[in-house]
């Protein structure tokens, strides 16, 4: 699968959305020839989230408070919908959470949340009208299909992260916040510097809920300049 088709991916959308292992959100990994799912995958199902990735957002929110009651949130690469559901829960009835993905979300959403099929990097007039601007928070949990080559995977992840930062720069209100997943690579520090230029505060964070073997990390930009 090409990087373009995976732009709206989630944690890692890979086929074998955000690869070797079956690593799409919520899917069991293989160990010793038998499938198994970690406790967070089971917990997510019990708490009616489609994937364990929701706990990464919970970890980020607990430490950095990027979401607020009554806020407007844009979730880039929202499928299968875990981050969108949790964001909607936090902002409450007076807030709104809107998601965009190349794939359709098949789960029921609360009245303050909506999901739309589209490419955030190539928004046509209709989609741009739906998305609007002036968001309090832009989230991006996008990741490319991995190849197993660290340099290639990092470059693809960087491309998605830069696209997400460009989108956030135009769609966030002054003072807004940005959360972005990225694989660390040779150009990571340069990207971090770009986030620091655009936001009053910048932090690099790996949630406890990330798998130990994962190369992903999150950049949090707070207080857009």
pLDDT digits over 25-51, tens only?
333 444 433 334 588 889 999 999 999
Q: What SS3 state is found at 91?
A: helix
Class of the domain covering 50-224:
alpha beta
Give residue 212's pLDDT band: very low, low, confident or very high (50, 70, 90): confident
Catalytic one of 13, 181, 222, 224: 181
Query: Model's pTM, two decimal places?
Result: 0.82
Q: Is 16 helix (H, G, I), strand (E, B) or coil?
A: coil
Output the six-digit token pair for 56: 């990464």
Tell me the mean pLDDT in the region 159-164: 96
Phi, psi of 43 (to 5 degrees): -60, -40
- The encoded tokens of residue 92 equal 């409450």
pLDDT digit string, tens, across residues 48-79: 999 999 999 999 999 999 999 999 999 999 99
**Catalytic: 181?**
yes
Measured CA to CA, the distance from residue 216 to residue 116 in angstroms comes to 26
């Amino acid at each position: 699968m090409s990087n373009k088709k995976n732009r709206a991916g989630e944690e890692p959308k890979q086929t074998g959305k955000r690869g070797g292992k079956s690593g799409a959100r919520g899917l069991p990994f293989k160990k010793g020839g038998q499938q198994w799912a970690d406790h967070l995958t089971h917990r997510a199902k019990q708490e009616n989230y489609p994937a364990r990735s929701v706990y990464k957002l919970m970890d980020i929110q607990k430490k950095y408070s990027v979401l607020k009651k009554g806020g407007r949130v844009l979730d880039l690469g929202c499928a299968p919908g875990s981050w969108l559901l949790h964001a909607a829960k936090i902002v409450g009835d007076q807030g709104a959470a809107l998601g965009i993905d190349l794939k359709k979300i098949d789960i029921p959403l609360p009245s303050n949340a909506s999901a739309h099929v589209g490419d955030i990097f190539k928004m046509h007039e209709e989609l741009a009208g739906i998305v609007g601007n002036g968001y309090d928070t832009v989230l991006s949990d996008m990741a490319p299909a991995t190849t197993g080559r660290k340099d290639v995977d990092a470059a693809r992840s960087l491309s998605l992260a830069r696209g997400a930062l460009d989108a956030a720069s135009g769609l966030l209100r002054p003072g807004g916040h940005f959360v972005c997943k990225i694989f660390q690579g040779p150009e990571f520090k340069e990207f971090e510097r770009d986030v620091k230029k655009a936001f009053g505060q910048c932090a690099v964070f790996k949630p406890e809920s990330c798998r130990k073997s994962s190369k992903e990390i999150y950049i949090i930009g707070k207080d857009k300049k």
